[in-house]
Chain A
Amino acid sequence: MNLVRRLGIAAVLATVLAVVAAGCGSSGGGGGTIIRGTTDQPVSYDPAGAYDLPSYDVIYNVYQNLMTIPPGENKPVPEAAEKCDFTNPTTYECTLQDGLKFSDGDPLTSKDVKFSFDRNVEIADPNGASSLLANMKSVDAPDDKTVVFHLKQPDATWPFVLTVASFAIVDSSDFPKDKLQPSDEVIGSGRYTVASYKPGQQTVLEKNDAYTGDDPAENDTAIVQYYDKSSTLKLDVENGEVDIAYRSLSPTDIDSLRDADGVSIVEGNGTEIRYLVFNLKLQEGTSDAQKLAVRQAVAQTVDREAIAKNVYDDTVDPLYSMVPQGLEFATKAFAEKYGESPDEAAAKKTLADAGVKTPVPLEIWWTPSHYGPSSGDEYAEIKNQLDDSGLFTVSLKSTEWTQYSEAAFTNKYPQYELGWFPDYPDANDYTAPFYAKDSFLNISYDNPEMNKLLEQEAAETDEAKRAQLFKKIQDIGAEEVPTLPIWQGKQVAAVRDGVSGVEDTFDPSFIFRYWLITKD
């Protein structure tokens, strides 16, 4: 029998067998295994080398921090520490709990804590978050259970900084002090260990039986499966290959899954925001007053509700302040000043009063891939809204992320799209980076009153006083509009029926707590 015939028969046989085996397809894991699919890929599981959410996802589950944000809340409480406090405005002292242990049996002492912070600064990995420790002068471990941080300036955000995954506690006897530990060989004291890491494919977390805390994992294994395209991820959560699909499904995917059998959509309070930035130097307008009028008029014309509904199918909420809802001290400054819905008459008046000729030409930049393809839709929508009012003519420009991220901050774009992801869920992280004189935005915004307020809130530990400071800050931000907040994203996951706990872990901290998730 010749080759062709043989090949043909083999092919037919293979197909028949495949069809027959259809019923026996594998799907999901047993009750003790949770599988989550995502399109984000991690950088490193060594805390000193990570400053991205996918890495943080695993780090929070494998290590402990001195402080952490409990599920459903937005303020730090001690985790590895027993208690932590400021002993004076620039000294922060923590006492560790008893009996803490790493997964390999090594005891966790203050020596490990000091080691973790020191190496973070020494390695200063380009992908790491050592810049968040800029305010730390030194850290001491006077005895096994005490850690003392000496800060350069008073800092009310320090407890929050301690919750950041980049500052998780590592085992000083295993981790090198001057370079990163390979991601598949990390040792932490958290609820899971990294059983296997195949870059680009999957991370497998196994329950750490040596965990000393009193809230160990409620499942045995958590598998994080990586996908290139969200469309494939959607198919797999529909078919039951994965139990949870979280970050990132498109609005169309989510809509379709709402109607699908066996899957439901879980939403939670998210704190990632999207906003429009004005470069005050490059703006249209002959005087500061005119430029301000243009910015305010845009604020009065943009219809956030339409964007949330038309572009994002309500997977985002309109945002009326740079500080998103869900964080302490968040207000709705823009709504208070301009109203929740657009007011074209007011915008017209604002421009007329300042003597600005309409329609105002606006060049707005956005980037196609970094913030997802919907940002194209979003800016098309914004353009339509602004053009339709008759007060503006918008020309949209886009360029891919690498060039965009450099050009935007080197005075090349007069108006541009930007997103923000918190380092920690404190209002400071949503104001200082944008409103301060030396903001990374580099938009020539310099308001002395704002600068002073920011300094004060950073040092102020009294909550009531801080609330007042932040109210003022957000009001000024709404008045001057150097940046225009547009929406705040919900945390959205597609979850198979029978899987619970996902809604419990959705809170402003963005910690994805695999240990809370169970499956029938």
Chain B
Amino acid sequence: MHMPKFAGIRRMAARIQEAKGAPRWILYVGVGIVVFFIILAIFAPLIAPYGFDQVSSDGMRFPKQASPSSDHLFGTTVQSTDVLSRTIWGARTAIEVVVLSVIFSIAIGVPLGLVSGYIGGKLDRGLVLIMDALFAFPYLLLAIVVAFLLTDKLNDFFLSNLFGAGIVTAAVAITVVYIPQYFRVVRNHVISVREEPYVEAARALGAKRRTIIGRYIFYNVIQNVPALATLNAADAILTLAALGFLGYGIQPTEAAEWGYDISRAIDDVGAGIWWTGVFPGMAIVLLVTGFTLVGEGLNDVLNPLIRYRRIRKPKIPAAQGQEAS
């Protein structure tokens, strides 16, 4: 039986088009926010007025803990760095870590789930045990311990040269936490799909395992991933901020990170210096909300149990001799 390519994705797109009202707007607003931050991340060197650890310009030292002014729109920190610049560079750090960790998690979790669900047997049982064990681990704990272990160990890793060792460390720590989620979702879906008639038919026709998994099951199962990926991304930002707050993962000399900025800002707030913490804090809330809205929007649109479909009235051609209605 011939399945059109990208059937699953096409189906998804169609559903988005059909959705009525609020879910679409939620999706669009979410996507808008995320795209905004991605632009900030990519074009940070052009958009940010200063470097993330820059303390002077044209020979003049920046003031310390100065309130927002025309020179420094978001004020300066206790280290005399510009808050606006650090917030923008922080977007780059956040997006880099999120992208890396989501890609890693999907690249590992999805294939494992596919294989495990389809083949079953001992491999499946073993993997399920390990994944359940990982799942049982309180997520922040796991991230902290992994970040801890990997500090300074990834200095020669090839990705570290591109992104910086600290960012890769944080990404790996977060990846480990989310692999079990993808694994679980994909595996469960595969198990329910693998008994479908069309899969049986393919098997009866002698299709190779690889083809079955790759062509038939994959596209069906993949629909679950985007919603999970966006929620994963949202959580990843929060975990990254928590790691930065506690002082693990990214070293302050490597990159700007919102959680670290907030940890330094805590002292400031008590002294009436609000701008060093509020802006990174708002950035976190916005970006996480953005990702969540995308996830919620997708879920609303794709979840068959709650979605509304826009009902297009059928066009009935006019009867002979009468006006079209």
Contact = CB atoms under 8 A, between A and B. Distances in A.
A368 interface: yes
A176 to B, nearest CB: 36
Contacts of A376: 79, 252-253
A399 B252 contact: no
A256 interface: yes
Interface in A225-243: 229-231, 234-235, 238
Interface in B239-289: 247, 251-253, 263-264, 266-273
A237 to B, nearest CB: 11
A399 B273 CA distance: 29
A144 to B, nearest CB: 54
Looking at chain B's contact residues, the main secondary structure is: loop
Given A377-B79, A384-B55, A398 B270 contact: no
Contacts of B151: 399-400, 403
Contacts of A253: 267, 270-271
Contacts of B264: 373
29 contacts: A231-B266, A231-B269, A234-B267, A235-B270, A238-B270, A252-B78, A252-B273, A253-B267, A256-B271, A310-B80, A368-B247, A368-B251, A369-B247, A373-B264, A376-B79, A376-B252, A376-B253, A380-B55, A380-B79, A384-B55, A384-B56, A398-B251, A398-B252, A398-B253, A399-B151, A399-B152, A399-B251, A400-B247, A403-B152
A514 to B, nearest CB: 27
B209 interface: no
Contacts of B78: 252, 377
Contacts of A124: none
A204 B196 CA distance: 70
Interface of A: 229-231, 234-235, 238, 250, 252-253, 255-256, 310, 368-369, 373, 376-377, 380, 384, 396-400, 403
A231 B267 contact: yes
B64 interface: yes
B253 A234 contact: no
B267 A250 contact: yes
B159 to A, nearest CB: 19
B53 interface: yes
B271 A368 contact: no
Contacts of B268: 252
A398 B249 CA distance: 12
Contacts of B247: 368-369, 400
B56 A255 contact: no
Q: How large is the interface on B (under 10, 10 to 19, 20 to 34, 35 or more residues)?
A: 20 to 34
Contacts of B251: 368, 398-399
Contacts of B270: 231, 234-235, 238, 253, 256
Contacts of B152: 399, 403
A255 B268 CA distance: 10
| A230, A310, A399 interface centre (most CB from chain B within 10 Å) | A310
Contact of A368 (B56, B64, B65, B252): B252
Nearest to B248: A400
Contacts of B267: 230-231, 234, 250, 252-253
Nearest to B61: A384
A400 B273 CA distance: 28
Given A252-B273, A399-B152, A400-B151, 18 more contacts: A230-B267, A231-B267, A234-B270, A252-B65, A252-B271, A253-B267, A253-B270, A253-B271, A256-B271, A310-B64, A310-B80, A376-B253, A380-B55, A384-B56, A397-B253, A398-B251, A398-B252, A399-B151
A369 B247 CA distance: 8
Interface string B295-318: 000000000000000000000000
Contacts of A403: 151-152
Contacts of A255: 271
A256 B253 contact: no
Given A231-B270, A256-B272, A398-B252, A380 B53 contact: yes
Interface string B206-248: 0000000000000000000000000000000000000000010
B213 to A, nearest CB: 43
B111 to A, nearest CB: 34
B76 to A, nearest CB: 12
| B55, B56, B271 interface centre (most CB from chain A within 10 Å) | B271
A413 to B, nearest CB: 13
A369 B268 CA distance: 18
Contacts of A398: 251-253
B77 to A, nearest CB: 9
Interface string B37-74: 00000000000000001011000010011000000000
A116 B264 CA distance: 44
Given A253-B271, A376-B79, A380-B53, A229 B266 contact: yes
Contacts of A369: 247
A295 to B, nearest CB: 23
Contacts of A384: 55-56, 61
| A231, A369, A399 interface centre (most CB from chain B within 10 Å) | A231
Contacts of A373: 263-264
A229 B265 CA distance: 13
A234 B267 CA distance: 9
A310 B253 CA distance: 19
Contacts of A396: 253
Contacts of B272: 256
A235 B271 CA distance: 10
B15 to A, nearest CB: 34
Contacts of B64: 310
A379 B251 CA distance: 14
A399 B249 CA distance: 10
A252 B79 CA distance: 11
A69 to B, nearest CB: 33
Across chains A and B, which 5 residue pairs bring their CB atoms closest together, nearest first? A256-B271, A252-B267, A231-B266, A250-B267, A377-B79
